[in-house]
Amino acid sequence: MQYAHLGRTGLLVSRLCLGTMNFGPQTSEADSHAIMDHALAQGINFFDTANQYGGQLGAGISEQIVGRWFAQGGGRCEKVVLATKVYEPMGTRPNESKLSALHIRHACEASLRRLQTDHIDLYQKGA
């Protein structure tokens, strides 16, 4: 696997990034876990998700699947450079979308809970 620096963070990430947008809506949780296990075994250490991913199953489902995979232990969380996104609506109130300070703070805290981790390596603006 080839790796590159992630900006100026000092982190080395695989040139291939595992996207999790279909985890839940298109891919079962068991298959999603198997995909992440295989990706990690192949040296892919850069995983990308978003608070909005989940489709008809509901926003946050993909993050929950990744979080339950992390919770299985084995150093999974420590081996992955984790990216997630904020921006899309997560509710109907005025500050539950886009980039208000309130939404960013609440969305980050909720993502951390769903992902069952205490850190996000790359927090980015979604669509």
pLDDT of residue 15: 98
Could you give the CA distance from residue 56 to residue 67 in angstroms, rounded to a whole number?
19
Low-confidence ranges of the chain (pLDDT < 70): none
pLDDT of residue 66: 98
pLDDT of residue 97: 82
Give exposure, 50-85, as e/b (b: 16+ Cβ within 10 Å).
Answer: bbbbbeeeebbbbbbbbbebbeeeeebbeebbbbbb
Q: Which CATH number fits domain 3-125: 3.30.420.340, 3.40.50.720, 3.40.190.10, 3.20.20.100?
A: 3.20.20.100
pLDDT of residue 92: 87
Neighbours of 124 (CB within 10 A): 12
pLDDT of residue 78: 97
Could you give the CA distance from residue 104 to residue 112 in angstroms, rounded to a whole number?
12
What are the structure tokens assigned to 26, written together? Answer: 């298109």
Question: Global pTM?
Answer: 0.94
- Catalytic residue status for 53: yes
pLDDT of residue 91: 80
